[in-house]
Amino acid sequence: MDGLEALEDEPVLVRNRMSCFNGTPLDIFLRNLGITDVIVAGVWTNMAVEHTLRDAADHGYRAIMATDATSSLSSEWQSAAESYALTNIAELVTTADIIEIARSR
């Protein structure tokens, strides 16, 4: 996408499954960098975002979803993911909350 190209020294991981962890070296990459928190934003909250958050939690990461930076095919599906599926798996916060978390470190 124009304007969103990776910089020369930035790694690019291609996701072919619902979860960003499945079939990619993401876990190894994050562990090698000492990263403990995974913040997820994206489309299809009740599928791709949810799968990635579940896998992040299963791998021992602090799973965080940016609620105002995700979407589903319908508001009902979005609400179901936020209200039921993800409540015991991830912290559901806004992008403003994420900025505050980052600033406090």
Q: Sketch out the chain's domains with CATH numbers.
A: 26-103 (3.40.50.850)
pTM exceeds cut of 0.85: yes
Phi first, then psi, for residue 67 (nearest 5°) are -65, -30
Question: What pLDDT score does 72 carry?
Answer: 93
pLDDT score of 13: 87
What's the rounded Cα separation, in Å, for the pair 82 and 68? 11
For residue 82, give the DSSP letter: I
For the record, the structure tokens of 45 come out as: 């909250």
3-state secondary structure of 64: strand
pLDDT tens, N- to C-terminus, the chain (105 residues): 788 888 999 888 888 899 999 999 999 999 999 999 999 999 989 899 999 999 999 999 999 999 999 999 999 999 999 988 888 899 999 999 999 988 998
